[in-house]
Amino acid sequence: MAQTARTMTPGSTASASTGLLRSARFRAEREADWQALEKLVAKAEQKGLHRMEFAAARDLAAGYRRATTSLAIAREISLDRALLEYLEALTARAYLCVYAPQERLGGLVQRFFTTSAPQAMRRSALFIAIGYLCMGLGALTGYLLYFENEAWYFVFMPAELAGGRTPEATTGFLRSVIYDTNPDQTGLGAFATFLFSNNTRIAIFVFGLGVFLCAPAIILTFYNGLSLGAIMALHVDRGLGWDMGGWLSVHGVTELSAICIACGGGVKLGAAILFPGALSRRAALQRAGRDAVKLALVAAVMLLVAALLEGFLRQMVQDMTMRYAIGWGVGALWLAWVLLAGRGRA
Amino acid sequence: MTAAPQTRRSSRRSRRRDRPSPNTVMSPEGVPLTLRVAGIGVRLSAQVIDVAITMTAVICIVILLGLLNLTTPQTLYAIGAMAFFLIRIPYYIATELVWNGQTLGKRLLKIKVIGHDGRSLTTHAVVLRNLMKEAEVFLPGTLLFTLDATTPLLSLLSFGWIVMAFLIPLLNPHRQRLGDLLAGTHVIHLPVPVLLRDLVRETPTRGVAGKFVFLAHQLDHYGAFELQTLEGLLRVDDRRMAPAAYGHHRKTLGEIIERIRRKIGYADPVPPADHPAFLQAFYAAQRAHLEQRQLFGDRRADKHHAVPGRK
pLDDT score of A147 more than 80: yes
Phi–psi pair at B135, nearest 5 degrees: -75, -25
Confidence of residue A4 (pLDDT cuts 50, 70, 90): very low
Q: Does A273 contact chain B (CB < 8 Å)?
A: no
Q: What CA–CA distance (Å, rounded) separates B174 from B170?
A: 9
Q: What CA–CA distance (Å, rounded) separates B21 from B32?
A: 11
pLDDT score of B299 more than 90: no
Distance from CA of A174 to the nearest CA of B (A): 24
Q: Does A278 contact chain B (CB < 8 Å)?
A: no
Answer positive or negative: Cα dihedral of B150, B156, B161, B167. positive
Q: What CA–CA distance (Å, rounded) separates B81 from B104?
A: 21
pLDDT digits (tens, 9 = 90+) for B63-97: 888 888 766 776 777 777 778 888 888 899 889 98
Closest CA to B100 of B26, B188, B34, B36: B188
Which residues of A are less than 8 Å from B28 in CB distance?
Answer: 99
The one-letter code for the residue type at A83 is L
pLDDT of residue A188: 62
pLDDT of residue B208: 56
Which residue is closest to A82 within chain B, CA to CA?
Answer: B196
* Average pLDDT of the residues in A172-177: 76
- Establish, for the pair of chains A and B, how many residue pairs have beta carbons separated by less than 8 Å: 223
Buried b / exposed e across B29-43, counting CB within 10 Å, b at 16+?
Answer: bebbbbbebbeeebb
Mutate to test the interface with A, among B21, B68, B100 (most CBs of A within 10 A): B100
Which among A79, A103, A105 is the nearest to B287, CB-wise?
Answer: A79
- Looking only at Cα atoms, what is the longest distance across chain A? 109
Q: How many of the other CB atoms lie within 10 Å of CB of A167?
A: 17
Q: Do B292 and A86 touch (CB under 8 A)?
A: no
Q: Does A5 contact chain B (CB < 8 Å)?
A: yes
Which residue is closest to A301 within chain B, CA to CA?
Answer: B86
pLDDT of residue B188: 93
Confidence of residue B1 (pLDDT cuts 50, 70, 90): very low
Which among B27, B284, B298 is the nearest to A68, CB-wise?
Answer: B27
Distance from CA of A239 to the nearest CA of B (A): 34
pLDDT digits (tens, 9 = 90+) for A86-97: 999 999 999 998
Which residue is closest to A44 within chain B, CA to CA?
Answer: B99
Domain ranges in chain A are 22-98, 106-340
Q: Does A187 contact chain B (CB < 8 Å)?
A: no
> By mean pLDDT, which of A155-159, A323-327, A336-340 is the weakest?
A155-159
Q: Does B195 contact chain A (CB < 8 Å)?
A: yes
| Concatenated DSSP letters of B2-35 | -HHHHHHHHHHHHHHHHSPPTTEEE-TTS-EEE-
pLDDT of residue A5: 40
Distance from CA of B63 to the nearest CA of A (A): 15
Distance from CA of A83 to the nearest CA of B (A): 7
Which residues of B are less than 8 Å from A82 in CB distance?
Answer: 195-199, 231, 235
Closest CA to B285 of A147, A235, A6, A14: A14
Which of residues 63 through 82 in chain A touch B, CB cutoff 8 A?
Answer: 65, 68-69, 71-72, 76-82
Closest CA to B120 of A104, A92, A99, A65: A99
Which residue is closest to B30 within chain A, CA to CA?
Answer: A68
B202 Cβ contact partners less than 8 Å away, ≥ 6 residues apart: B280
Q: Do B100 and A92 touch (CB under 8 A)?
A: no
Confidence of residue A2 (pLDDT cuts 50, 70, 90): very low
> By mean pLDDT, which of A131-140, A233-242, A302-311, B68-77 is the weakest?
B68-77
pLDDT of residue A180: 65
Which of residues 238 through 277 in chain B touch A, CB cutoff 8 A?
Answer: none
Q: Do A17 and B290 touch (CB under 8 A)?
A: no
Closest CA to B109 of B28, B48, B198: B48
pLDDT digits (tens, 9 = 90+) for A264-317: 999 998 899 889 889 988 888 888 888 888 898 899 889 888 888 877 777 777
Q: Does A3 contact chain B (CB < 8 Å)?
A: no
A143 vs A170, residue with greater confidence: A143
pLDDT digits (tens, 9 = 90+) for A18-40: 446 888 889 989 999 999 999 99
pLDDT digits (tens, 9 = 90+) for B99-151: 888 999 999 999 999 988 888 888 888 988 888 887 777 776 776 666 666 66
Query: Chain-centre distance of CA A144, in angstroms?
Result: 36
Q: How many of the other CB atoms lie within 10 Å of CB of B309?
A: 6
Rank A176-180, B9-13, B197-201, B257-261 by mean pLDDT and report only the highest.
B257-261
Q: Do B193 and A93 touch (CB under 8 A)?
A: yes
Distance from CA of B120 to the nearest CA of A (A): 5
The one-letter code for the residue type at B81 is A
Mutate to test the interface with B, among A79, A99, A115, A202 (most CBs of B within 10 A): A79
Q: Does B11 contact chain A (CB < 8 Å)?
A: no
A41 Cβ contact partners less than 8 Å away, ≥ 6 residues apart: A60, A90, A93, A94, A97
pLDDT of residue B13: 60
A316 vs A69, residue with greater confidence: A69
pLDDT of residue A10: 42
Average pLDDT, chain B: 82
SS3 for A195-217, per residue? HCCHHHHHHHHHHHHHHCCCHHH
Contact A178, B64 (CB under 8 A): no
Q: Do B197 and A79 touch (CB under 8 A)?
A: no
Q: Does B291 contact chain A (CB < 8 Å)?
A: yes
pLDDT score of B2 more than 60: no
